[in-house]
Amino acid sequence: MGQRSIVILSVAALFLSCIRHGDKNENDAAYRTKEDVAFTRKYAKGFDIQQREDGFVIETFSHSGNSEWSDKFVAPYKADHNFSQNAKFLPVNINRVCCQSSTYLAFLEFLGKIETVKGLCGKQYLNNKELAAHLDTNNAREICLGEKTQTETIIDINPDIYFVYPFQSEEVIGLEKKGVKTFMIAEYLELDPLARLEWIKVFGMMFGEFEKANAYFEEVEKEYLQLVKPQPDKEKKFIMNLPFGDSWHAPSTNSLIISLLQDAGLYYCFQDESGTENTIHSKEEMWQIGAEVPYWVIVANRPEGFTLEDLLAEEEVYATFRSVKEGKVIFCNTMVTDYFTYGVIEPHVLLNEIQNTVEGKTDTKAKYFQILK
> Model confidence at 1, in pLDDT bands (50, 70, 90)?
very low
Is the separation of the CB atoms in 77 and 32 below 8 Å? Answer: yes
Domains, in order of start, for the chain: 3-224 (3.40.50.1980), 228-371 (3.40.50.1980)
Note the maximum CA span of the chain: 71
Residue 195 has pLDDT above 70, yes or no: yes
pTM for this model (two decimals): 0.89
pLDDT of 170 > 90? The answer is no
Partners of 247 in the β-ladder:
244, 282
C-alpha–C-alpha distance, residues 80 and 24, integer Å: 19
Burial (CB < 10 A; 0-12, 13-18, 19+), residue 319, is exposed
Residue 300 has pLDDT above 60, yes or no: yes
Q: Is it the case that residue 108 has pLDDT exceeding 60?
A: yes
Burial string for 340-357 (b: 16+ CB within 10 Å, else e) reads bbbbbbbbbbbbbbbbbb
Q: Are the CB atoms for 266 and 238 separated by under 8 Å?
A: yes
Encode pLDDT of 239-272 as tens digits: 999 999 999 999 999 999 999 999 999 999 999 8
Confidence band for 278, pLDDT divided at 50, 70 and 90: confident
Give the mean model confidence (pLDDT) for residues 96-103.
95
16 pLDDT above the threshold of 60: no
Look at residue 322 in the predicted model and tell me its pLDDT. Answer: 98
**Structure-model confidence comparison of residues 311 and 9, the more confident one:** 311
Q: Give the per-residue pLDDT at 27.
A: 46
If you average pLDDT over residues 186-211, what whole number do you get?
A: 96
pLDDT at res. 298: 98
Supply the mean pLDDT for the chain: 89
